[in-house]
Structure 1
């Protein structure tokens, strides 16, 4: 399978990408499109199925683009995701991985170039020959990639629904975009969403139809309701509803609010976000509270967070605690360290680290996120945490000039990876440890290579399955300075 979860097969040496096909299967396909060295095909029949093939439980799985791996057993998903990480480290980062297959191109190099993977081993990487962190043999200095940390219950894990609204056959619909398009598939239930989110979305659509609210049309730019966004606190049960509208006026606003209050008592906040731009970006710049509170609250571990309409907050709180727990473990905090959290967002990782560190400094370029982070620090009585607005690569050198030296730097960048100047800054500051949290194995591998070339050594990478049944995989990587002797 390639990184998009498509099966990679061959006919007389010609490579075809086949959505829905699994490694080891024999399938009948219809070729849809060809290029010089590869093509795309549609799966017609599974002649010899994989032992990992399962029946997708979702009724609209073949139409919706939200999940890509429901036809693969959960154990198979976890193994494939680990192998995906190994492939990226070897091929992109040119980094040695303990117990991994060779990165040599397979069958003429076509599959290697497009990301096809060897069968993933079930066991952990090579056994340890000493007691060093991660257990990588001292003679190899190879990176240990741990088995993917999955969920006991890999369904109903999302705490946020962002549902596009449109018109189909003259009626208002809301659901998900069909795979590879902007055609909206109406949806009543989503098996990876919290059940409460399903209920709220269904009721809001019903109320909108009843009140004659118009749906937004992407092509014409006409119509009012663009998206319904629902957030739920897993621990608190509190819910927020955000109506994203193409204009500031909401017809029958009072009736909307009273109907929502009456039918969905768990909702403690109803907000409107105004987005009049012809864009596929969900939120506009203006948000107002229609009724109730400006925020809802939830917890990650023992840390309490205030979540506003536009706050970025991890969508899988169960696995977020696993991810952050591994981050704290890799940081090896004793309570005496100074930690810098680059790309700190609303302070989620910063405050998790602050439970175990002497000082924490967080930096984030989004002003509203830093305002939320300061509120969250105050909410938890954490006065040894400092947050600053700006680009990490600008702010961290300023801190260094103020004699702020970091023992540990934690980075959790967007999919594009770390800014090159931030990597240069890390190499100049020389913290003992770098903990890299990543949502993209390709840019993780690229950045690890740069840090390794600059004097760091990657000890261990831990994949964490934050998004079961999709191709996405989070990782936490531990790096130490090569001169530490660890």
Structure 2
């Protein structure tokens, strides 16, 4: 892949000069280096077409030298906006919608927020497209709550892109590098879009966690659920469950009952709604710290048969892992976006009664250094 923006300082894809087959070989080697002490690492699952896979695009606004409004990606290790309009990783339709947002905003005479001077209005635009539904959500992030000529902006954007499903204004007045603020105003549509994953329907709101590569997410989750070997009798815990994607899919695939635990209240709210829209009645969601939740279950002498865990990049803490080992589920399916912290956690679990049966890397982010890895662990002793 030849990226014309790399020389300008864009650091979005670190491996743009490397053939895809060589990327997979390198990721396989790196995963084996970290995890082979636990067992054989299966061949990494790559993509047939590793281009334009990102169905979530975030673009930041800036001011060009001629004073016009521009948007694009930040240069590496800076807040300098590069006017990138055709990134080779971004979904083509999402990228087109971003440029339409810029045009509509320019016609409304909106200006880019300057964090040094504290002037201007627009910070970012986030565009999401449902991989299977094609529905499109636009989230315009502003520093102030008042959006002048908002009706004109919506009409102009819909004229340029009639297929847009919903338009949301997000207000972020904080001095922060975090993209979204806490307040949303729906300018058009319902404020969310729908997508389908593993045979289930999911609602995606502006702040929802939803994987940016849905094609590979389907592969990742199906592998994880297959490893669980659900027969219809098992009780399942989905730890760090987010908006409930894995737990809901497992509930429909054969679990007797599922409990999902997540510390983010908005995510739990979305998970409950997603379960209802899929008519899944054998699942419950709880807003709680995963480690404390497991400790409570052990105190009540309750233990699921299977645990799915998909922690953040930092991995799990010892409180969670200790409670998990005390609980003693028959199978643990560990999905990780960081094999380094996964290796640390696997070492703890291996020392406390678990055997690592399967290690399966999956390439979720071609042309970057990141790799996801699923491991199956089974209990070896009481």
Range of TM-score over shorter length:
over 0.9
Pick one of 311, 314, 339 that aligns with 1:416.
Answer: 314
Task: Determine the C-alpha separation between the residues in 2 that align with 1:424 and 1:272.
Answer: 43
2:272 is the alignment partner of 1:327: no
- So what's the TM-score if we normalise by structure 1? 0.76
1:441 maps onto 2:339 in alignment: yes
User: Shift of residue 402 of structure 1?
Assistant: 4.6
> Residue 253 of structure 1 aligns with which residue?
150
Q: Tell me the distance in 1 between the aligned counterparts of 2:70 and 2:265.
A: 35
Higher helix share: 2
Equivalence for 1:74: 20
Deviations 1:157-191 (CA, angstroms, capped at 9, x unpaired): 11100111122313322111112322111011111
Q: How many residues align?
A: 379
1:78-101 deviations in whole A, cap 9, x for unaligned?
1111111122236xxxxx2xxxxx
Alignment partner of 2:56 out of 160, 171, 175:
160
Q: Could you report, residue by residue, the CA deviation over 1:225-275 in whole angstroms, capped at 9, with x for unpaired residues?
A: 000000100111110000000000112111001111221111111101100
Q: 1:463, 1:474 within 8 Å by CA — same for their partners in 2?
A: yes
Q: Give the corresponding residue for 1:451.
A: 349
SS of 2:43's partner is coil
Question: Paired residue for 2:281?
Answer: 383
The CA distance in 2 between the partners of 1:459 and 1:427, in whole Å, is 17
Alignment of 1:197-208 (within 5 A): 197-208=94-105
Q: Distance in 1 between matches of 2:297 and 2:119?
A: 49
Q: Quick one: higher RCO (CA 8 Å, sep 6+), 1 or 2? A: 2
1:372 aligns with 2:270: yes
- SS at structure 1 position matched to 2:381: helix
Q: Does 1:146 align with 2:42?
A: yes
- Whether contact under 8 Å (1:65, 1:176) holds in the other structure is no
Q: Is residue 2:378 matched to residue 1:477? A: no
Conserved 8 A contact 2:198-2:221: no
User: Which whole-Å CA distance do the structure 2 matches of 1:69 and 1:452 have between them?
Assistant: 33
Could you tell me the TM-score, scaled by structure 2's length?
0.96
CA contact (8 A) 1:361 1:387 kept: yes
Long gaps (5+) in structure 1: 1-55, 91-95, 97-141
Alignment counterpart, residue 236 of structure 2, candidates 339, 343, 347: 339
- Match of residue 290, structure 1, among 151, 165, 187: 187
Residue of structure 1 equivalent to 2:2: 57
Secondary structure of the 2:165 match is strand
- What SS does structure 1 have at the residue aligned with 2:184? strand
SS of the aligned residue for 1:145 comes to coil
**C-alpha displacement of 1:58:** 2.5
1:404 offset after TM fit, Å? 3.5
In the alignment, the residues of structure 2 paired with residue 382 and residue 400 of structure 1 have an alpha-carbon distance, to the nearest angstrom, of 26
- Structure 2: how far apart are the matches of 1:478 and 1:78? 22
- Pick from 363, 367, 378 the counterpart of residue 261 of structure 2: 363
Q: Partner of 1:87 in structure 2?
A: 33
Equivalent pair of 2:44/2:363 in contact (CA under 8 Å):
yes
How far does residue 59 in structure 1 lie from its aligned partner after superposition? Answer: 2.1
Q: Is the contact between residue 221 and residue 278 of structure 1 (CA under 8 Å) also seen in structure 2? A: no
**Counterpart Cα distance in 1 of 2:193 and 2:359:** 34
CA offsets 1:297-346 (integer angstroms, 9 cap, x no match): 00012110011111110111110010001101111111110110100000
Distance 1:175 1:246 in 2: 18
TM superposition shift of 1:221: 2.7
Secondary structure (helix, strand or coil) at the match of 1:161 reads strand
